Amino acid sequence: MFRIHAAELLVVRLPLKFRFETSFGVQTEKVVPLLVLHGDGVQGLSEGTMEFAPMYREETIAGALHLLREVYLPRILGRTFANPEALDDALGSFRGNRMARAMVEMAAWDLWARMLGVPLGTLLGGRKDSVEVGVSLGIQPSEDATVEVVRRHVEQGYRRIKLKIRPGWDVQPVRAVRAAFPDIRLTVDANSAYTLADTGRLRALDDFDLTYIEQPLAWDDLVDHAALQGRLRTPLCLDESVASAQDARKGLALDAGRVINVKVARVGGHAEARRVHDIARAFGAPVWCGGMLESGVGRAHNIHLSTLPNFTLPGDTSSASRYWETDVVNEPLEAQDGVMPVPTGPGIGVTLNRDFVERIAEVQEEFHP
């Protein structure tokens, strides 16, 4: 049992070290909403992955802050819960907004694991003390620049290279990278930039031995993905289209994809992420842990989730130092040779750098019952 005595909401803005270009546009900074739940002598931390503008999915930071302040936090403050899954009693009837709800759920898991004195991954049923990671590389200005940035990350030992693509920037960069690195595990991510009318273009990618093509079609579509998968040799990987374990079941049953990118916040938290993992395993489909350019708080959550057994493909949870000059947590989260150590210690195993966070916070609010 744990009781939630109080909560804090903090929003910080971190400049990205690189220009991250995708089919959505260009990103140069990250706005990070952080939630701290206060329990009996311990705190639980989480991070929101919704965006300023709804590009990836429909949720926004402003919408999430409203829901936390006015709807979710008032229903959990001062209450006692048997375990994190019992939060469904308070929040389960609200529709959608899974990233906003995940902030509460994930902070509750961290709080619960810290109370029990165990690492979150262990509590979720994971058994690894390190996880394999790859890297997600934005669209570069040229083929040469793409090969160069891939080279740098291959040399750092990353176990998989993912290239962002969009119509007009797909076969050329992939051909150039494959020619330079015949043996690397290579994937592409279109972030929903194509339609079935582009089937010919996407079929051309079958020649490059890609491990998968991530989310080529619409964010809310499974049917067209199934039609496309029927015409490609390369497995499709679903990202945006999977907001729940039921979506995962439908997608795999339809053969709309053969791999799932699990993002814990996208599906509403760790309990649902674990159900996605379990369903994929029942279908014999591998999963991997995606990222949303998280700060150290979300990154640590992702690393712990990745310790579950069916996370058999490298995730996007690359070294925090790639993204930021200064992170919001005190502990470094650094991969060595493409292997990320799981933070040891209770909960997510990282602590908030309070001085830094409070100095740059654009929002800092406390909530009591």
Q: Which residues are catalytic?
A: 164, 263
Residue 189 lies near Mg ion (rule: CB under 5 A): yes
Distance CA 252, CA 149 (A): 33
Judged by beta carbon distances under 5 to 8 A according to partner kind, the member of ligand OSB, Mg ion, none in contact with residue 56 is: ligand OSB
Residue 189 lies near ligand OSB (rule: CB under 6 A): yes
**Strand, coil or helix: 79:** coil
Judged by CB, which is closer to ligand OSB: 43, or 187?
187
Residue 316 lies near Mg ion (rule: CB under 5 A): no
Judged by CB, which is closer to Mg ion: 110, or 239?
239
Site string for ligand OSB, 261-290 (x = CB under 6 A): -----------------------------x
Beta-carbon contacts of 95 under 8 Å, excluding residues fewer than 6 positions away, are none
Judged by CB, which is closer to ligand OSB: 27, or 312?
27
Q: Tell the smallest beta-carbon distance from residue 24 to ligand OSB (Å).
A: 8
Site string for Mg ion, 229-248 (x = CB under 5 A): ----------x---------
Q: Where are the alpha helices (DSSP H) in 58-119?
A: 61-66, 73-76, 88-91, 98-116
Residue 227 exposed, middle or buried by CB count within 10 Å (0-12, 13-18, 19+) = middle
Judged by CB, which is closer to Mg ion: 208, or 219?
219
Beta-carbon contacts of 96 under 8 Å, excluding residues fewer than 6 positions away, are 58
Judged by beta carbon distances under 5 to 8 A according to partner kind, the member of Mg ion, ligand OSB, none in contact with residue 293 is: ligand OSB
Q: Tell the smallest beta-carbon distance from residue 121 to ligand OSB (Å).
A: 19
Distance CA 364, CA 272 (A): 29
Distance CA 305, CA 324 (A): 22
**Strand, coil or helix: 266:** coil
Q: Tell the smallest beta-carbon distance from residue 140 to ligand OSB (Å).
A: 14
Residue 47 lies near Mg ion (rule: CB under 5 A): no
Judged by beta carbon distances under 5 to 8 A according to partner kind, the member of ligand OSB, Mg ion, none in contact with residue 136 is: ligand OSB
Count the neighbouring beta carbons within 10 Å of the beta carbon of residue 189.
25
First vs last C-alpha separation in the chain: 18
Judged by CB, which is closer to Mg ion: 251, or 343?
251
Beta-carbon contacts of 21 under 8 Å, excluding residues fewer than 6 positions away, are 27, 138, 139, 140, 164
Residues that bind ligand OSB (CB under 6 A): 56, 136, 189, 191, 239, 290-293, 316, 318
Residues that bind Mg ion (CB under 5 A): 189, 214, 239
